């Protein structure tokens, strides 16, 4: 598995005092092997390894990091760049109905993703969505989409499988216009392998419905097949983005690294399970930190746990495991622990680069602010600490007055708490939690 291989490489780098030409070459060779074994396309691997080499050579060693950490940071940043930093939302600004066309091999997850996207648009964007299938070769596929649509309470265009796919696409678009749907998602047929007929059909459908988004749906476990399909679909259609499915599987995981480069388009979403709510906007930063492992975070946790009440740490771990949120009460405890240890600055260099960068920008980075934040939280009622969402403008004013800070300080605290909550959630999901508990134990 790619993440395991990369974690092995990271492990060998950790704590390394000096980088020599020899151990840089050795590390790059290991990274290259790990990527190739995970079925990342060869040209992608080559470019990737070369760009790391160039960066390492031209790198000024950051004084707060060891050379090993510097190399980890470069690899981290390059992996993020490879998959695309930041999040690209769906483009919904076109004249409605906005058409989203899904393309990909059979079994990639198009039909499932069509339903997931529809639900996502309904829940997050409050859009009226119409789902339509053009998969006339497998009537079961139309039924599959209909079931999902019904279950989710989303509009469904009943395709007649005796008509040609192109006709169905045209009719679905007419129906979307007539019934004032805001988004039309068109599911298509897929073949097990790329073939000319299938490409011609989907091109015709695309020309008919003029999609705003043409998303290539790809199974993250598909390896070299995924690479070939990405190339073929990329040549046949003007793709605008990628949906990476089955990221919950025990995949070799190479597809994630290749598709962006090969299609030239960003990964917009990833499927994380079979259920219709198992869809997340794609964050390369998160995926990479999972790939490279949370080792540095663990060593941070370890040094914290030496200085704090073990019971509290376990309580937090249990809570995270149960999927309960990291609330302000927990943040309060953490801040006290940080104070006990002589301040956050002592911990900063233990954080992995991507977190250290964020932490430095976060308000708690300054030890004086830690004290102020503790004061702010203490001015809250227990209910407010549990349910920060209930803190409205007048409560904020009261809390600010109570702790002697401006309201903006309260806002900043709430915002950074929300970010931490997200990070905790992600650690809980990414398997980091089990490791965290072992680190405590």
Q: Which of residues 165-194 bind ligand GDP (CB under 6 A)?
A: 190
What does the DSSP 8-state code read for residue 389?
A: G
Residue 104 within binding range of ligand GDP, rule CB under 6 A: yes
Report, in Å, the least distance between residue 214 CB and ligand GDP. Answer: 15
Please tell me the total number of residues recorded for the chain in this structure. Answer: 441
The single residue among 3, 112, 261, 305 that binds ligand GDP, judged by CB under 6 A, is 112
Q: Which residue is nearest to Mg ion (CB)?
A: 111
- C-alpha closest to that of 191 among 183, 176, 202, 180: 202
Positive or negative, the CA dihedral 207, 169, 239, 177 is: positive
Q: With CB under 5 A as the contact rule, which of the stretches 91-99, 135-143, 167-175, 299-307 interacts with Mg ion?
A: 135-143
* Partner from ligand GDP, Mg ion, none binding residue 370, C-beta < 5-8 Å depending on class: none
* Percent composition of the chain: helix, strand, coil (DSSP 3-state, to 5): 60, 10, 30
Residue 119 within binding range of ligand GDP, rule CB under 6 A: no
The single residue among 245, 265, 305, 416 that binds ligand GDP, judged by CB under 6 A, is 245
Asked whether residue 21 is marked as a ligand-binding residue, the answer is no
The single residue among 3, 27, 111, 206 that binds Mg ion, judged by CB under 5 A, is 111
The single residue among 73, 110, 372, 412 that binds ligand GDP, judged by CB under 6 A, is 110
Residue 241 within binding range of ligand GDP, rule CB under 6 A: no
Distances (CA, A) of 133 to 94, 141, 156: 22, 8, 9
Q: Are 245 and 113 in contact (CB under 8 A)?
A: yes
Q: Which of residues 247-266 bind ligand GDP (CB under 6 A)?
A: 248-249
Q: How far is CA 280 from the centre of its chain?
A: 6
Asked whether residue 245 is marked as a ligand-binding residue, the answer is yes
Per-residue burial over 187-219, b = 16 or more CB atoms within 10 Å of its CB, e = otherwise:
bbbbeeebeeebbebbeebbebbebbbbbbbbb
Q: Are 129 and 118 in contact (CB under 8 A)?
A: yes
Asked whether residue 357 is marked as a ligand-binding residue, the answer is no
Q: With CB under 6 A as the contact rule, which of the stretches 105-113, 126-134, 167-175, 222-230 interacts with ligand GDP?
A: 105-113
Q: With CB under 6 A as the contact rule, which of the stretches 14-22, 53-61, 269-277, 300-308 interacts with ligand GDP?
A: 269-277
SS3 assignment, position 310: helix
Interacting residue ranges for ligand GDP, rule: CB under 6 A: 104, 106-112, 190, 245-246, 248-249, 271-274, 278
Per CB under 5 A, residues contacting Mg ion are: 110-111, 141
């Amino acid at each position: 598995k790619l993440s395991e291989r990369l974690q092995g490489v990271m492990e060998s780098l950790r704590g390394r005092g000096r980088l020599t030409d020899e151990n840089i070459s050795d590390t790059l060779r290991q990274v290259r092997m790990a990527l190739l074994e995970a079925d990342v396309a060869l040209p992608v691997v080559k470019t990737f390894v070369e760009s790391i080499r160039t960066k390492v050579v031209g790198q000024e060693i950051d004084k707060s990091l060891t050379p090993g950490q510097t190399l980890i940071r470069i690899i981290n940043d390059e992996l993020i760049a490879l998959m695309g930093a930041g999040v690209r939302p769906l483009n919904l600004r076109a004249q409605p109905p906005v058409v989203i066309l899904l393309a990909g091999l059979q079994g990639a997850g198009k039909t499932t993703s069509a339903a997931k996207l529809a639900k996502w648009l309904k829940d997050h964007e409050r859009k009226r969505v119409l789902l339509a299938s053009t998969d006339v070769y497998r009537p079961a596929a139309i039924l599959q989409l209909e079931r999902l649509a019904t279950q989710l309470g989303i509009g469904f265009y009943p395709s007649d499988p005796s008509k040609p796919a192109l006709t169905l696409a045209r009719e679905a678009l007419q129906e979307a216009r007539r019934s004032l749907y805001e988004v039309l998602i068109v599911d298509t047929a897929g073949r097990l392998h790329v073939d000319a007929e299938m490409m011609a059909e989907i091109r015709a459908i695309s020309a008919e419905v003029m999609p705003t988004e043409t998303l290539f749906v790809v199974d993250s476990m598909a390896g070299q097949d995924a690479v070939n399909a990405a190339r073929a679909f990329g040549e046949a259609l003007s793709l605008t983005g990628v949906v990476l499915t089955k990221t919950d599987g025990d995949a070799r995981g190479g597809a994630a690294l290749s598709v962006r480069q090969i299609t030239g388009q960003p990964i917009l979403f990833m499927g994380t399970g079979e259920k219709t709510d198992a869809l997340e906007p794609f964050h390369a930063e998160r995926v990479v930190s999972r790939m490279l492992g949370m080792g540095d975070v663990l060593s941070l946790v370890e040094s914290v746990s030496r200085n704090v009440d073990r019971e509290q740490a376990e309580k937090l771990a249990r809570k995270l495991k149960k999927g309960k949120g990291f609330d302000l009460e927990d943040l309060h405890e953490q801040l006290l622990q940080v104070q006990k240890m002589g301040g956050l600055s002592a911990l900063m260099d233990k954080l992995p680069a991507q977190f250290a960068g964020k932490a430095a920008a976060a308000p708690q980075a300054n030890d004086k602010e830690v004290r102020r934040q503790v004061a702010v939280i203490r001015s809250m009622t227990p209910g407010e600490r549990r349910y920060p969402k209930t803190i409205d403008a007048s409560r904020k004013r009261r809390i600010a007055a109570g702790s002697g800070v401006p309201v903006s300080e309260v806002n900043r605290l709430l915002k950074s708490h929300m970010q931490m909550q997200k990070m905790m959630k992600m650690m809980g999901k990414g398997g980091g939690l089990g490791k965290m508990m072992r680190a405590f134990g």
